Amino acid sequence: MNEAMRSPKQASAAQGPAPAPPERTGRRAAWLWPLLTIGAVLAVYLVGRGVAELFLIHYGDPASYANDWGGPSIAGVLAVHSGPGLAIVAAGAWWWVRGRGARS
């Protein structure tokens, strides 16, 4: 049987086993640390801003948030200011739970 007639499984079996992937050392590249630091600072800011927005809005006075981003509705203001923080907390919780499950 020639190469054109073989199925992909037969062709890969004829070539031998695939090379082993390189081992991971567990160390991160030096250029990655500044990016992780910037991301962590941004995440802390967005979560803090989202929590602070919940306490700084005067819920009884629509004029206090009408000109904010996401205004004039309270739902839009909270979505714009607290939404990113909520997304970061949810992603962090998912990452933490998923990582804990992989180690078990």
* pLDDT tens-digit profile, the chain (104 residues): 565 665 655 555 556 677 777 666 667 788 898 999 999 999 999 999 999 999 988 888 888 888 888 888 889 999 999 999 999 999 999 999 988 766 65
Q: What is the DSSP string of the chain?
A: --GGGS-HHHHHHHH-PPPPPPPP-SPPPTTHHHHHHHHHHHHHHHHHHHHHHHHHS-TT-GGGTTTSTTTTSHHHHHHHHHHHHHHHHHHHHHHHHHHHHHH-
What's the pLDDT at 10?
Answer: 56
pTM above 0.85, yes or no: no
Residues 83 and 45 sit within 8 Å (Cβ to Cβ): no
